[in-house]
Amino acid sequence: MSIKDNNKYMLKAIKMAEENFRSGNGGPFGAVVVRNGEIIAAAGNCVTSTNDPTAHAEVVAIREACKKLETFDLSGCEIFASCEPCPMCLGAILWSRIGKLYYAADRNDASRAGFDDELFYRELSLSNDERLLKPTQMLQEEAIKVFDKWIDTTDKIQY
Amino acid sequence: MSIKDNNKYMLKAIKMAEENFRSGNGGPFGAVVVRNGEIIAAAGNCVTSTNDPTAHAEVVAIREACKKLETFDLSGCEIFASCEPCPMCLGAILWSRIGKLYYAADRNDASRAGFDDELFYRELSLSNDERLLKPTQMLQEEAIKVFDKWIDTTDKIQY
């Protein structure tokens, strides 16, 4: 796609970010999923209006694109996000197999606007002992048995 | 909660992980959200059955718990996951404000079973140039203008 097209998609994501918070839908974030020059899905953040802390713009756009294309694999798609994806959204993009990410504002701009993206990026780089969540591992052997059964199963759908 | 209670919740998450892949719902993962000794939500991974790459067990359990409690804030809740949350799920847990995480298998066990958790943890620690997604930043100034308007808005719901 040309730079002109990319600008068009990103400007749409940014416009959605503004409309999104003005309408009371949620935070000032928008995302657009594109494939072969066609917009497959476009969404704003709807965390507060839907009581779903996972409903960031990127996650909602990915869900909508998957629904529309009837697949959990968005290989060949690109995503335009009005802000650098947080760790959750970056993970969602990776799992969706989207091939290319464009973003406008970054995690530091988001911090300045009161969002925890940068804090959570730091959390992910820490060891368990240092993390806010103080994760505790337990019953590992029991869980490994389930993975072993999964490995031995032949008729499974991998992702 | 006692260690005995914690074992009970984790064994439920692990049991769900096995039932989940055997029923064709999705991957071998389960998660349970608990508050004050009560199970608020329990879910398996349903990526492949719902065509939703974000429908990991933890994300689904968080969505269900929020729906049940009618809030996007799960402070005071704990989560038991049959496997160490991937970056997407860890992000979702942080955004949900769940206070404590227990997990059984870890990212290396998941790798051995064919899942990309460990790969994606590494991806998150890389710089843009090194990442698979090759992220490109563009139109930052346009997006910052939206954040500035958000900052200046007084009647907003923060999260």
- pLDDT value for B1: 61
pLDDT reading at B3 higher than 90:
no
pLDDT digits (tens, 9 = 90+) for A11-39: 999 999 999 999 999 999 999 999 999 99
CB A47 within 8 A of CB B159: yes
Residue A27 confidence (pLDDT): 96
All residues of chain A having their beta carbon less than 8 Å from the beta carbon of residue B18 are 146, 149
Question: According to the model, what pLDDT value does residue A1 have?
Answer: 61
B129: CB partners within 8 A, 6+ apart: none
Q: How far apart are CA A137 and CA B153, in angstroms?
A: 43
List pLDDT tens digits, range A39-64: 999 999 999 999 999 999 999 999 99
Angle between helices B117-124 and A87-96 (to 10 degrees): 130
Classify the complex by whether its ipTM is higher than 0.85, answering yes or no.
yes
Q: Which amino acid is at B98?
A: I
Percent of chain B with pLDDT over 90: 87
Q: Can you read off the two tokens belonging to residue A4?
A: 């002109």
How many other CB atoms are there within 10 angstroms of residue B5's CB atom? Answer: 11
pLDDT band at A133 (very low <50, low <70, confident <90, very high): confident
Residue predicted with more confidence, A133 or A8: A8
Is A139's CB within 8 Å of B104's CB? yes
Handedness of CA A86, B88, B92, A13 (dihedral sign): positive
Phi/psi of residue A108, each to 5°? -75, -40
Q: Which two tokens stand for residue A31?
A: 């995302």
Mutation for testing the B interface, residue in A147, A151, A156, A159 having most B CBs under 10 Å: A147
**Per-residue three-class SS string for A58-93:** HHHHHHHHHHHHCCCCCCCEEEEEEECCCHHHHHHH
Chain B residues near residue A120 by CB distance under 8 angstroms:
91, 94-95
Q: Which of B11, B62, B73 sits opposite A139 (nearest CB)?
A: B11
> Cβ(A64)–Cβ(A41) under 8 Å?
yes
CB contact under 8 A, B124 and A90: yes
Would you call A9 helix, strand, or coil by DSSP? Answer: helix
- For the CA atoms of A121, A124, A126, A128, what is the dihedral angle to 10 degrees? 150
Q: Which residues of B107-122 are buried (b: 16+ CB within 10 A; e: fewer)?
A: bebbeebebbbbebbe
Contacts of A91 (CB under 8 A, 6+ apart): B86, B87, B88, B89, B91, B120, B124
Q: Which of A12, A51, A80 is nearest to B67 (CA)?
A: A51
pLDDT tens readout for residues B40-73 = 999 999 999 999 999 999 999 999 999 999 999 9
Q: What tens digit of pLDDT does each residue of A77-126 get?
A: 999 999 999 999 999 999 999 999 999 999 999 999 999 999 999 998 88
